[in-house]
């Protein structure tokens, strides 16, 4: 049907000079209806459609293209694709060669970033075609633009998750293997302790018994560190329950009270009544511990750690602001990478583990810092009463 329809229209256009005013008016109406139909079809597409000349001048843009490149309906005249997407013309220089043949191999694909009207990543397909009877300007390019921002973000998040998981599994394996020699040491220390009991009474035996006890205590401490490390890094879904964030924070600060006092650090925490969140208390303790530990180490001796709260309709926020040395901008963007650390003796896993835990809670962790001023870490938790929310139609 479509083929017959167009051949019929072609015949009518072929004898345009012979049409009277009535038939000419009917033809114009018919062409207007068909144009409106094709406009409606193109404007319903999610992809942006452009028709451009060799010099990049835009002859046509559908509604999605206007939205993607921030071009108003009245701004099309005189616009070129090369000006709207700087750098694209250079990358397409080969495809724009006037001598290039037009065939199926002429399809060009590119991905580029747009910063206006909002940051996004766009995939471009460009196919040349010729317009019959258009003289020297007979070549045009059909350009298809697809917004792949979410696709890229999800891909990057998946790659990051896979990389993190592999590193954590390796770290877990190493930590597990360290447990075997520690167990062996503990057994031999017990044997030595038993033999010393038989020699009880001599000054040498008492001194050795004290040394053995110190060794046993240190082995137990190392075993505890490994156990906590494995608990922290094993991929484990949070055991969610109704949680008061301030109660969990108070537990962590009580546990760190002696170290805080030894370092001469002043902690100023708001005593706010916050909405309940769904969280795993033990995992949150790990997050709070890592953040406050980093803050204390950044401040060294003295300094102030301020802990503030904020609430909006959807989220609960905890902000940890220290008066430490701050972080260089080039280091700031890499702090969540595994094994990247700016501290001597640091393992570079604390913030990465905190980020993973926050994501599994449906939250986020943010970090701002200025050298010689300090660092602010923001934790964002979804409110329990707003975890499921109807969107406005």
Radius of gyration of the chain (CA): 34
Tens of pLDDT, residue by residue over 60-87, are 899 898 888 877 777 776 788 888 777 7
Most confident of 101-110, 123-132, 245-254: 245-254
For the record, the structure tokens of 294 come out as 């980093």
Confidence check: pLDDT of 5 > 60: no
pLDDT category of residue 288 using cuts at 50, 70 and 90: very high
Tens of pLDDT, residue by residue over 150-187, are 887 777 777 767 776 776 677 777 777 777 788 888 88
CA dist 268 and 285 (Å) reads 18
Predicted local confidence at residue 265, as pLDDT: 92
Per DSSP, the residues of 255-284 read HTHHHHHHTT-EEEE----PPPEEE-HHHH
Predicted local confidence at residue 67, as pLDDT: 87
pLDDT category of residue 390 using cuts at 50, 70 and 90: very low
- What is the value of pTM for the model shown? 0.47
Is 138 or 239 the better-scoring residue by pLDDT? 239
Mean pLDDT, the chain, rounded, equals 79
Mean pLDDT lowest among 26-35, 118-127, 262-271, 335-344: 335-344
Tens of pLDDT, residue by residue over 8-66, are 666 666 667 777 788 888 888 888 888 888 888 888 888 999 999 888 889 889 989 88
> For 206-215, which contacts have Cβ atoms below 8 Å and span 24 or more sequence positions?
215/185, 215/189
- Report percent pLDDT > 70 for the chain: 79
Residues 6+ apart with CB under 8 A from 377: 291, 294, 295, 319, 320, 365, 366, 367
Tens of pLDDT, residue by residue over 313-351, are 888 999 999 998 888 877 777 777 766 666 655 556 778
């Amino acid at each position: 049907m479509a083929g017959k329809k167009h051949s019929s229209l072609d015949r009518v256009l072929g004898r345009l000079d012979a049409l009277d005013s009535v038939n000419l008016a009917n033809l114009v109406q018919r062409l207007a209806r068909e144009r409106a139909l094709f406009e409606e079809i193109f404007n319903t597409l999610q992809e942006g459609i452009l028709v451009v000349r060799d010099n990049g001048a835009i002859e046509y843009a559908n509604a999605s293209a206007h939205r993607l490149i921030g071009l108003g309906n009245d701004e099309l005249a005189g616009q070129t694709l090369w000006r709207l997407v700087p750098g694209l013309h250079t990358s397409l220089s080969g495809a724009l060669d006037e001598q290039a043949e037009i065939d199926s191999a002429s399809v060009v694909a590119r991905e580029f970033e747009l910063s206006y009207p909002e940051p996004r990543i766009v995939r471009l397909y460009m196919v040349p075609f010729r317009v019959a009877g258009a003289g020297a300007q007979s070549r045009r390019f059909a350009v298809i633009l697809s917004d792949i921002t979410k696709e890229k973000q999800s891909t990057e998040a998946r790659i990051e998750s896979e990389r993190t998981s592999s590193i954590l599994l390796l770290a877990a394996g190493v930590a597990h293997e360290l447990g075997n020699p520690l167990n062996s040491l503990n057994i031999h220390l017990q044997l030595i302790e038993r033999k010393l009991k038989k020699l009880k009474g001599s000054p040498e035996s008492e001194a050795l018994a004290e040394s053995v006890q110190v060794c046993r205590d240190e082995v137990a401490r190392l075993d505890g560190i490994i156990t906590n490390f494995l608990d922290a890094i094993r991929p484990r879904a949070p055991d969610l329950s109704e949680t008061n964030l301030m109660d969990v924070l108070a537990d962590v600060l009580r546990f760190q009270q002696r170290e805080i006092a030894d370092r001469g650090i002043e902690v100023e925490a708001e005593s706010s009544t916050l909405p309940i969140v769904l969280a795993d208390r033990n995992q949150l303790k790990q997050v709070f511990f890592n953040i406050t530990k980093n803050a204390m180490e950044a401040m060294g001796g003295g300094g102030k750690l301020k802990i503030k709260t904020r609430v909006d309709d959807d989220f609960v926020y905890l902000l940890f602001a220290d008066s430490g040395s701050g972080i260089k901008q080039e280091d700031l963007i890499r702090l969540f990478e595994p094994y990247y650390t700016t501290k001597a003796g640091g393992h570079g896993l604390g913030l990465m583990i905190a980020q993973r835990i926050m994501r599994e809670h449906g939250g986020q962790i943010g970090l701002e810092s200025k050298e010689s001023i300090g660092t602010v870490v923001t934790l964002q938790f979804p409110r329990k009463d707003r975890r499921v929310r109807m969107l406005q139609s």
